Amino acid sequence: MTWGAFHQGTRPFFGIIALMSSLNLPPRLTAAREMLAANDFAGALLLYEKLTREFPAAGAVWFEYGAAAAGLRQFELVDRAWEQAMSLESRNTELITMIGHRYQALRQPVKARACFGRAALADPRAINPRVSLAVVLERNHLLAEARAAVAECLAIDPREEQALYLLAVLDRREGALESAERQLRDLLAADPAHPFVRYSCRYELAQLLDQTGRFEEAMVLLAEAKQLVRDLTDTDFLLRGYDHGAESARQFTRSLPRDILRTWDRFFPARKRRPIPPLVFLGGHPRSGTTLLERVLDAHPQVAALDEPTAFVDILQPAFYQSPKLSSERVNQLRAGYIAALLHEAGPAAAGRLLVDKNPSPTARLPIWLRLFPELRVLIALRDPRDVALSCYFQNIPLNTDNVNFLSLERVAKHYADLMDIWLAVREWEGFQWLETRYEDLVADLPREGRRVTEFLGLTWQAEQARFHESSVRKQNYSPTYQDVTRPVYSRSVARWHAYERHLAPILPVLEPYCRVFGYS
């Protein structure tokens, strides 16, 4: 089973290029592949366009052509190129499965599911596409269909570790906790060979133990899981990258005066701004209740809320770092590209609605948001920092330069301080609209706090917002808490940290200033 099946197609493209290099294709592909690996999508696209004319029957070329188009967000060309690749390689289960993972990375789960189903039909004995299909079905809350895909895997191989792990996940989601625990313990006792299963079983079992009050054993399993992850990844490299970026963001923010928005407004005044839909940034530290709030807002008929879209990181942030002194024309182009990406992901129903970009980690890049969107409204979700730290520590998510910090409580505390220090500085700036909302208030009285937040957006509270969980099952969320938002609001996670106070003791002094300033002392 590929790493990408469980991690939603997030593995870097050079891994796919290595796979394709085994095919008997001419060396003239080298330049195009090097451009693709270096994210020079425009240059690669020109070369691949010529190569598809020269080698029209080479499915690998069409696949890579589509990947270059995906980098430029030319989605019609992506579909055309990948359909051609799959038609030419109709029996190539691995290629079709790869295209499914790429569609997952592009936030197109329906097309991903179609690819995995197509790959499974191409090979009645193939495990990978069936496991991948089960993963995407489970993330889309289609549990019966996911269970059927898992059953197909186990019919092929009753000892298939990934399928057995997914079976336990499905049992836990459907409330069969004893069965889920038994299966997870059986898997661990068998010492699974698959690295994802080895550490994910521990994460999943730790969540079950936490849910049933066995806190000490949960912490033991988490420590084991995190050590297994460290053994698989150069975490020191990721942490060095994070520390460099966090310090740069901190210094940049500190260098700006409180009236910086007035200065930026002179360079990009309202008369030079091309119209865009009303836009809201929903941030805060990860695990602060941003997903719950995003779902509540998305249930409003005049709102299209997006769960951690990649448009900011893919489009805006790189352009700003390349040239912070942007002309008004360039800013308008970037804004238009960003909005187009949001609308594409949200779908046709988002036209004319207020857009909410829910993105916790880019809170540390708020100066960029406000430089490019002076009219932006900023909504910051708060939660007891001790609960935030604990919840981050429990998460089993693919590593990047941000969440690599979640492998230890000490690094979680540092990450919290780095991000929230940025917010505490930016909220002192003059001239923008912002609101803080507490997770605990939302849980205690959803209509009251939800109404306050909705009115901050200039809208009127709607009764269906209190029933957000009814519509959440129809939409895929990309947050680690995608399962929780299909249930009504619950209070079990409030003050959860008390059960783990002994383990949190070393980081409590780091978090105490934030508890005090945000009212959690």
Higher pLDDT, 488 or 4: 488
Assess whether 206 and 92 both reside in one domain. no
Residue 151 lies in a domain: no
Pairing of strands 303-307, 377-382: unpaired
Burial of 213 (C-beta count, 10 Å sphere; 0-12/13-18/19+):
exposed
- Which range of residues forms the domain containing residue 97? 1-134
User: What does residue 282 show for φ and ψ, rounded to 5 degrees?
Assistant: -110, 110
Name the percent of the chain lying above pLDDT 70. Answer: 91
Final residue before a domain boundary, out of 183, 213, 232? 232
Assess whether 339 and 315 both reside in one domain. yes
**Measured between alpha carbons, how far is residue 235 from residues 89, 238, 278 in Å?**
37, 5, 39
Pairing of strands 377-382, 433-438: parallel
Q: What is the pLDDT of residues 151-173, one digit of tens each?
A: 999 999 999 999 999 999 999 99
Least confident range from 42-51, 84-93, 451-460, 492-501: namely 492-501
pLDDT of residue 325: 82
- 312 vs 278: CA distance, rounded Å: 16
In one letter, which amino acid is 328?
S
Residue 172 lies in a domain: yes
pLDDT of residue 290: 94
**Highest averaged pLDDT of the listed ranges 25-39, 317-331, 398-412:** 398-412
Assess whether 222 and 264 both reside in one domain. no
- Which tokens belong to 52? 């598809």
Assess whether 335 and 459 both reside in one domain. yes
CATH number, domain of 190, equals: 1.25.40.10
Residue 314 lies in a domain: yes
Assess whether 187 and 78 both reside in one domain. no
Final residue before a domain boundary, out of 199, 232, 265? 232
**Measured between alpha carbons, how far is residue 150 from residues 109, 164, 180, 262 in Å?**
18, 8, 14, 57
* CB 96, CB 60: distance < 8 Å: no
Structural domains counted in the chain: 3
Residue 166 lies in a domain: yes
Assess whether 199 and 280 both reside in one domain. no
Residue 482 reports pLDDT greater than 60:
no
Arithmetic mean of pLDDT over the chain: 90
- 409 vs 416: CA distance, rounded Å: 10
Name the percent of the chain lying above pLDDT 90. Answer: 84
Assess whether 460 and 377 both reside in one domain. yes
Residue 153 lies in a domain: no
CB neighbours of 327 closer than 8 A, spacing ≥ 6? none
Residue 5 reports pLDDT greater than 70:
no
Assess whether 214 and 296 both reside in one domain. no
pLDDT band at 17 (very low <50, low <70, confident <90, very high): very low
Residue 397 lies in a domain: yes
Residue 143 lies in a domain: no
Final residue before a domain boundary, out of 232, 249, 267? 232
Q: What is the pLDDT of residues 62-103, one digit of tens each?
A: 999 999 999 999 999 999 999 999 999 999 999 999 999 999
- 268 vs 376: CA distance, rounded Å: 14
In the block, tokens 């790869």 appear at 98
pLDDT of residue 24: 56
Residue 48 reports pLDDT greater than 80:
yes
Residue 140 lies in a domain: no
Q: What is the pLDDT of residues 173-232, one digit of tens each?
A: 999 999 999 999 999 999 999 999 999 999 999 999 999 999 999 999 999 999 999 999
Of 520, 278, 273, 482, whose CA–CA distance to 372 is shortest?
273
Assess whether 443 and 368 both reside in one domain. yes
Of 282, 253, 294, whose CA–CA distance to 450 is shortest?
294
